[in-house]
Amino acid sequence: MAVQPSLQGYVVEGLPIIKPGDDIAALIESLFNIQDGDVLCLASTIVAKSEGRFRTLESYRPSERAERIARQVGKDSRFVQAVLDESADVLLEKPFLLTKTRFGHIGVNAGIDQSNVGGGRILLLPEDPSRSAERLRRSLNKNCAVIITDTCGRPFRCGVTGVAIGWAGISALQDWRGKRDMHGKVLEITLEAVVDEIASAANLLMGEAGDGTPAIVFRGLRFPSGGKSSVFMPEDRDVIRPFLRR
């Protein structure tokens, strides 16, 4: 029996420390030949760096609310103010600060990072990661998909994984509804979060520490494209959020 590889993952080696204004698409193209049908996954960290999303804590004037939350979570009140500034909604103030970013992603500390940043600074997430993905995809000028990832914790499960916080050229969700299972039963509710599944595999190859490998390319994946689907749960369908608000 001939076994064909169905999916190849390439770690793009040799990217420098990214600075504001760096052309990430050009840097990657100089190291790796992206082809039609590829899925390029980028750690949000380098996209944010290229977009100049560095801040210093000194630039924040904490509000009374930030001071209060900071006491509860044991963080610097200026850091808390940065989180509040990036957030459209606060879901949990303790034991950690869980918020919805302005672009719709829910995460701890609005995804603001202090690791792999350097110089005592903090790094905000890209302002609109799907817009960043679209811009990068256009400059690559290939019929590829671009996914921007971040490492996140998950409710009900231990350990962090990669998730997609922005995407372009790919549908966030694969719709299996109407397809038949192995016994002929029609599937009714299965939407598969393909961008998260890919982001998670990419995150596995990126590493979390000083590996210096924020770009992964997957080849050989058949992925759905078109449509405007999202992995961000709309608030009116979210059954968990109301309980956090009590």
CB of 122 to Mn ion, least distance (A): 11
- Choose the one of Mn ion, ligand GDP, none that binds residue 210, judging by a C-beta under 5 to 8 angstroms depending on kind: ligand GDP
Task: Classify residue 163 by its DSSP letter.
Answer: E
E strand spans, the chain: 8-11, 39-43, 54-55, 87-92, 98-101, 106-108, 122-123, 145-154, 157-168, 174-175, 191-192, 215-219
Of 54-113, binders to ligand GDP (CB under 6 A) are 113
Beta carbon nearer to ligand GDP, 120 or 210: 210
Choices 99-107, 178-186, 204-212, 236-244; region in contact with Mn ion by CB under 5 A? 204-212
For strand 215-219 and strand 39-43, is the pairing parallel, antiparallel, or unpaired? antiparallel
CB of 175 to Mn ion, least distance (A): 29
**Is residue 206 a contact residue for ligand GDP (CB under 6 A)?**
yes
Choices 12-20, 31-39, 133-141, 230-238; region in contact with ligand GDP by CB under 6 A? 12-20
**Is residue 15 a contact residue for ligand GDP (CB under 6 A)?**
yes
- Choose the one of Mn ion, ligand GDP, none that binds residue 196, judging by a C-beta under 5 to 8 angstroms depending on kind: none
Residue from 130, 151, 171, 200 in contact with ligand GDP (CB under 6 A): 151
Q: Residue with the closest Cβ to ligand GDP?
A: 214
Q: What token pair was written down for 44? A: 């949000």
Q: What token pair was written down for 56? A: 């210093």
CB 214 within 8 A of CB 45: yes
Q: Identify the three-state secondary structure at position 8.
A: strand
Of 119-138, binders to ligand GDP (CB under 6 A) are none
Q: Which is nearest to 146 in space by CA: 162, 126, 130?
A: 130
Task: Classify residue 3 by its DSSP letter.
Answer: -
Q: What token pair was written down for 226? A: 């078109």
Q: Any bridge partners for residue 168, and if so which?
A: 146
**Is residue 50 a contact residue for ligand GDP (CB under 6 A)?**
no
- Choose the one of ligand GDP, Mn ion, none that binds residue 213, judging by a C-beta under 5 to 8 angstroms depending on kind: ligand GDP
- Sites of contact with ligand GDP (CB under 6 A): 15-18, 43-46, 49, 113, 115-116, 150-151, 206-208, 210-214
